[in-house]
Amino acid sequence: MISVVLAGGKGLRLWPESRERRPKQVCKFVGNKSMLDHTIDRLIAAGSDRIIIITSDALVRNIQQIINQRSDADLIEILSEPIGRNTAPAAGLILSKLYKDNKDAILGFFPADHHVLDNKAFIDSITNAINTAEKDHLVTIGINPTRPETGFGYIERTKWEIGEMPGIYQVNSFCEKPDLQTAEKYLTTGQHMWNAGIYMGKVQTLVDEFKNHLPLIYEKVVQGYDSYINSYSDLPNISLDYAIAEKSKRMAVVPGNFGWCDLGSWNALADLHKKDTKNNICTGDDIIVMESTNCIVKQSEKTVVLFGLQDVLLVETDDIILVANRNKAQDVRNIVDHLNNNKRHDLL
């Protein structure tokens, strides 16, 4: 399997840890490794013998520094998009590079900023997805939901397994982020799963689907990598989900249950770290919590003391301290907009 890691995001809701010069995929939220390192580790454990990282020109240096410290750096290649054009053009960039000599290779697309708690279960799901892709399906992995989540998209599977592939289902539809009432309904159907944004298929299968559903990109893909990269600014700004996955008749879904976490906001730390007896989540080596409940603390250098607080989010970096209501964690990106509008680029 050739694994493509999509690592161009900004992670605005994780400010001030995630910044323009240090976005969340290169930050360390779990242990002493970056999110990108964790992603590469589990993909290699799942059988990937080649990793291609797609990022932006601005992030190449940071990512190259991470790769240079790895013993398996020879398996990893970094490609830079000349301009951000969403995930469908990024996928086309990879296809333009691989199509001529790797038509039967299995290609997987993976976000760089997700976390997995059960690596063995993840490997089992990837193995099932590879076997399904070998039979000329496009494959996605759906996460069995554990709560009525309104911040994720959903995949609706059919009730019936695909013939000769037990536990694998055809995709019936992709669903947008629902309201709470709809999310609660999805939790009870047994057919709705969270969309983890993972897609896999043979190179030839993916190229065929681009030909069917996004011919403008297909025409550039078959002309080869140099031609593709030179015409990048002319490509449509569209996601792989909308352009291909939602239209393809070849989509299959592998249900996954491996402790998946989309690190989309500070509240996601609750999925990654143990809570204390008062429902506080603390990450860092020097935190004192007294008479406080339901707080999140990310400590870096200074000693942090929490006393008599409830529902507080506190993030301490080398130059900024953020204190907010934990219930406003999804709105942290508004701070970034405010800083931009007020030309406080030193804080971005």
Give the single-character DSSP code of 249: S
Tokens 């291609």 sit on residue: 52
**pLDDT tens digits for range 163-205:** 888 899 999 999 988 999 999 999 999 999 999 999 999 999 9
pLDDT at 235: 93
Predicted confidence band of residue 2 (pLDDT cuts 50, 70, 90): very high
**pLDDT tens digits for range 49-98:** 999 999 988 899 999 999 999 999 999 999 999 888 899 999 999 999 99
Burial of residue 63, with CB atoms counted within 10 A of its CB: 0-12 exposed, 13-18 middle, 19 or more buried: buried
Helix, strand, or coil (residue 12): helix
The CATH topology of domain 2-262 is Spore Coat Polysaccharide Biosynthesis Protein SpsA; Chain A (3.90.550)
**pLDDT tens digits for range 243-283:** 999 999 999 999 999 999 888 889 888 888 889 999 999 99
Domain boundaries, the chain: 2-262, 274-331
**b/e per residue 19-39 (b: at least 16 CB within 10 A):** beebbbbbbebbeeebbbbbb
**pLDDT tens digits for range 36-50:** 999 999 999 999 999
**pLDDT tens digits for range 295-331:** 999 999 999 999 999 999 999 998 999 999 999 988 9
pLDDT at 6: 94
Tokens 């038509």 sit on residue: 103
